[in-house]
Amino acid sequence: MADGDKPNLRIAVVTETYPPEINGVANTMRQLVLGLTRRGHEVIVVRPRQAADGPRSGAPVGQVLVPGLPIPGYRGLRFGLPVYWRLRHLWRRRPPDAVYVATQGPLGHAALNAARSIGIAVLTGFHTQFHQYSRHYGLGILMRPIVDALRSFHTRSDGTLVPTAALEHELDEDGFRNVHVFSRGVDTELFSPSRRSAVLRRSWGCDQTSVVAIYVGRIAAEKNIGLVMRALDAIAAAHANARCVLVGDGPELARLRRSHPECIFTGAKVGEELARHYASGDCFVFPSLTETFGNVVPEAMASGLPVIAFDYAAAHEYVSDGHNGFLVPLPKEDAFIHAAVAAASAPARLQRLGAAARVTAESMSWERVIGGVEQRLREVIRRHSDAGGEHETMAATTE
């Protein structure tokens, strides 16, 4: 049994992104699936087929692979096609106790519609700030319509899970209903100061006296990459022994490699290799303002790095200014650059703050987080059952 005498559940997790794709949502979905499985539940992942999946007949057990198309501007990522009738047939034949819809693409819409049409309890996840992204691509005029569309989607579910209390409050103010916090954990065995590598640092041209300012994330406009580069340029100008390392891929990578040959661009890293890169840095520079959470923040903290970030998302939740990192008021870009330069000028202080960051990260257990999601799933299933299973007639949807 998963929880005392409570029965195990059958859960469908619908997501447009999943490992080996590299992003925060994919990592969170992996942790959710593994965590629920460890607790004895049967989890079926519904996601777009990836190139790495091979022939159509080779679908892994416990997954439903659907057709997908590439997402423009996001190399290697795909969105799933709206396979409403396939999901409806599948779930009528063997219904899950609940469906968790993680993404709001065509596949997510089809899954929500299919579940509602046959009376299955549904939770949705708010994992990506699509409305904030629009500002960084010259589409700010679309921000309000995107918020309205997201609200319409999420309020048709039995509840929406968000990663922080601040975002919960923001969505409440925007008229979303039944919003609850699904926080994030961090793997403190994988991400650890013990993975610091002198060999890797030497490959970056660093010795024991060097200060390495590191950024991990997508190399793209929506991550505020312009401010990242300004902060790293200021650090390099102020400290001759500083090195600036950027880990990640994205549409701005080629251009920035040409314009900033003094910086080290490693490309995307995963697993132990990523963990070594974090731990081999000295401070983590992360000015993004489009995160729903920002998994890289606790990963950096677990690796023993003080984080320099705006007072926002994960940093707002876990970074205490001057204790385990540096918090900058929004949206003061000059203050952010000043904080980054000041941090790099005090290596001994960086070590003290990094040790405190590690202590903070050690309290962020994925097991505790998944236990909270399990409890929320049981609550929506019980409410749905008590109401007789709300049945919503849906207009016919084609694949």
Q: Are 284 and 216 in contact (CB under 8 A)?
A: yes
- Fold: same for 10-185+365-386 and 193-361: yes
| More confident call, 60 vs 312 | 312
Domain residue spans of the chain: 10-185+365-386, 193-361
pLDDT averaged over the chain?
Answer: 88
User: Is residue 140's pLDDT more than 70?
Assistant: no
Secondary structure (DSSP) of 37-70: HHTT-EEEEEEE--GGG-SGGGPPTTEEEE-EEE
Q: What is the pLDDT of residues 221-269, one digit of tens each?
A: 989 999 999 999 999 999 999 999 999 999 999 999 999 999 999 999 9
Mean pLDDT, residues 14-32 taken together: 91
User: Is residue 61's pLDDT more than 80?
Assistant: no
pLDDT tier, 55 (very low <50, low <70, confident <90, very high otherwise): low
Instruction: Burial-class residue 373 by CB neighbours within 10 Å (0-12, 13-18, 19+).
Output: buried
Mean pLDDT, residues 361-379 taken together: 94
Mean pLDDT, residues 134-150 taken together: 56
- The tokens describing 200, both together, are 């890797």
Mean pLDDT, residues 315-327 taken together: 96
Mean pLDDT, residues 173-200 taken together: 94
pLDDT tier, 134 (very low <50, low <70, confident <90, very high otherwise): very low
| More confident call, 22 vs 354 | 354
**pLDDT given for residue 23 in this prediction:** 86
Superfamily of domain 10-185+365-386: Glycogen Phosphorylase B; (3.40.50.2000)
State how far Cα 77 lies from the chain centre. 14
Q: What count of other Cβ atoms lies within 10 Å of the Cβ of residue 97?
A: 20
Nearest to 353 by CA among 321, 385, 330, 387: 321
The percentage of residues in the chain with a pLDDT greater than 90, rounded to a whole number, is 70
Q: What is the pLDDT of residues 79-104, one digit of tens each?
A: 789 999 999 999 999 999 999 999 98
Nearest to 247 by CA among 223, 292, 282, 278: 278
**pLDDT given for residue 362 in this prediction:** 95
Q: What is the pLDDT of residues 298-311, one digit of tens each?
A: 999 999 999 999 99
User: Is residue 397's pLDDT more than 60?
Assistant: no
Instruction: Burial-class residue 396 by CB neighbours within 10 Å (0-12, 13-18, 19+).
Output: exposed
| More confident call, 288 vs 71 | 288
pTM strictly above 0.85: no
Per-residue DSSP letter, 332: -
Nearest to 238 by CA among 308, 379, 336, 342: 342
Q: According to DSSP H, which parts of the chain are helical?
A: 24-38, 84-93, 106-117, 130-133, 143-154, 165-173, 198-203, 225-238, 253-259, 271-279, 296-302, 313-318, 333-344, 347-361, 366-386
Q: Are 13 and 35 in contact (CB under 8 A)?
A: no
**pLDDT given for residue 395 in this prediction:** 37
| Architecture of the domain spanning 193-361 | 3-Layer(aba) Sandwich (3.40)
Query: Which H or E run includes 122?
Result: strand 121-125
What residues contact residue 104 under an 8 Å CB cut-off, 6+ apart? Answer: 124, 128, 130, 150, 153
User: Is residue 391's pLDDT more than 70?
Assistant: no
